[in-house]
Amino acid sequence: MSEPSRNGTGDRGLEQLEIQLLLEAVYRHYGFDFREYAPASLKRRLERRMLAEGLATVSSLQDRVLHDPQVMERLLLDLSINVTSMFRDPAFYVSFRQRVVPLLRTYPFTRIWVAGCSSGEEVYSLAIMLSEEGLYDRTRIYATDINQAVLEQARAGVFPLDKMQEYTKNYLRAGGTRAFSEYYTAKYGGALFARSLTENVVFAQHNLVSDRAFNEFQAILCRNVMIYFDRSLQNKVLDLFHESLVMFGILGLGHKETLRFTAFEEAYEELDAEQRIYRRVA
Ligand SMILES: C[S@@+](CC[C@H](N)C(=O)[O-])C[C@H]1O[C@@H](n2cnc3c(N)ncnc32)[C@H](O)[C@@H]1O
């Protein structure tokens, strides 16, 4: 057990205080607000950055972050957790094809927001699915992320060639009907995806914590993003989505997130309880 410090908070209390001060400093100086991210995951990521920078305390990390924007950039990459893949959780796409595509067909034109799109694999997957369903030409996808570096990768549309086998499997399990290799060519040391897949896509930086609604959407996808937020921040972001969805618009959260026990439970009907696909009804 650790010795209590002089003010009685103990080492853990002290570290919590240092984390709060660091997050406050990052917010005030750089405008990135991680203050309501889930504490356990935050702590792990900060420790990883401290180790990589050869620093022993969170306070020393704060010092580096405030005086060296490059350290801030590296920290941002750690905190924003960009893991993603094409046709991730294929069952989500199967459900989207079955339950959401028929609803989207009823609109002459649809706007879809992919919030927290990371390096774009989800966006290319969605574009492929919509083009196979004959809907892509009348869709505009707004793909946003807090992290400018991953958005650059998304725009470039070059993904590791050695991932293509896994992505082909995902694509087929997601209900893909063509040869996946039709969508890319081997170039620039990777798989360059067809430019047509991003013709109707707008990539833009947007911070779900601090930026406001910017359009009205028929569907919003936000998967594997809010798991990193605490309950009050999740509610804030759900409020933003509610404000941004048309009546009867679709909210796709994926199987890790839920509207259950949130302030919005009553305002949506469940289209798929497992894949957490909802429709706004109030
Ligand atoms: C784990 S990835 C999920 C990517 C993709 N949606 C998927 O399911 O594969 C989480 C993404 O959320 C982004 N993110 C984290 N906090 C954010 C915020 N406040 N505003 C916008 N994006 C955020 C991260 O930069 C990261 O790219």
DSSP state string for 260-280: TTSTTGGGEEEEETTTTEEEE
The model carries a pTM of 0.90
Give pLDDT, residue 9. 57
- Confidence bin at 228 (pLDDT 50/70/90): confident
- Give 177-212 pLDDT, tens digit per residue: 999 999 999 998 999 999 999 999 999 999 999 999
Sign of CA dihedral 18, 24, 30, 32: positive
Give pLDDT, residue 3. 46
> Mutation test of ligand 1: which of 32, 42, 80 has the most ligand atoms closer than 8 Å to its C-beta?
80
Query: Is the pLDDT reported for residue 48 higher than 70?
Result: yes
- Give 110-143 pLDDT, tens digit per residue: 999 999 999 999 999 999 999 999 999 999 999 9
Q: Residue 145 C-alpha to ligand 1 middle, in angstroms?
A: 6
Distance CA 278, CA 258 (A): 9
Please tell me if the CB atom of residue 45 comes closer than 6 angstroms to any atom of ligand 1: no
- Give 4-31 pLDDT, tens digit per residue: 445 545 788 899 999 999 999 999 998 8
- Confidence bin at 77 (pLDDT 50/70/90): confident
